[in-house]
Structure 1
Amino acid sequence: MIWQFDLVLLILATLAAIAAIEVKDLFAAAVFLGVFSFIMCMVWTEMGSVDVAFTEAAVGAGVSTAFFIAAVYKTTRRTKD
């Protein structure tokens, strides 16, 4: 494993996680969670477990992000009178 690449992935994953927590917009939070899942997919690939990386890409970055974005679009920003 290349430690410089691992360090970059660690920094990117940490930044994506912090951004997902700190951002106020729900759509942006869902996108940052998808980015975090994609970065974790690259981490699993770098570690040599391609089956876990494929599952993370399909479920974490794909399906979960799509469900989160669909849920955000079904909600409203203001209460109805």
Structure 2
Amino acid sequence: MNALQVLSFLLVAAAGTGVVATRNPLLQSMVGSFFGLQLSILFTVLQAPDVALSEIVVGAVAFPLMVVLTVAKTSAKGAK
């Protein structure tokens, strides 16, 4: 295992801890997006570019967008 792989694993672990430690749903979706980007970098370092591209779409774009839209819709209903 080389230094780049170790660094990638440590960054993924730190980002995952950040997602768990965050309590605000909007902030958690942003941190989750960062976690998805870190995972895609890890998959690229581990020479799995197809998995990295899938992770970029799902983890960094689709999931945080769905969380933000859901929070916005539920908070708009609660304000009325």
Name the TM-score class by shorter chain.
0.7 to 0.9
Cα distance between partner residues in 2 of 1:62 and 1:50: 17
User: What is the percent sequence identity of the aligned residues?
Assistant: 19
Cα distance between partner residues in 1 of 2:20 and 2:71: 16
Query: Root-mean-square deviation (CA), in Å?
Result: 2.0
User: Structure 1 runs of 4+ off > 4 angstroms?
Assistant: none
Deviations, residues 29-73 of structure 1 (Å, cap 9, x unaligned):
111111111111011111111111111111221111111111122
TM-score (structure 2 length as normaliser)? 0.83
Cα distance between partner residues in 1 of 2:60 and 2:72: 18
Partner of 1:39: 38
> Aligned runs of 1:1-81 on 2, under 5 Å?
3-76=2-75
What is the letter of the counterpart of residue 69 of structure 1? Answer: V
TM-score (structure 1 length as normaliser)? 0.82
Cα distance between partner residues in 2 of 1:65 and 1:72: 11
Q: State the Cα distance separating 1:21 from its structure 2 match.
A: 0.9
**Structure whose residues are more often helix by fraction:** 2
Residues 5, 46 of structure 2: 8 Å contact kept: no
Q: What's the secondary structure of 2:23's corresponding residue?
A: coil
Cα distance between partner residues in 2 of 1:11 and 1:75: 35
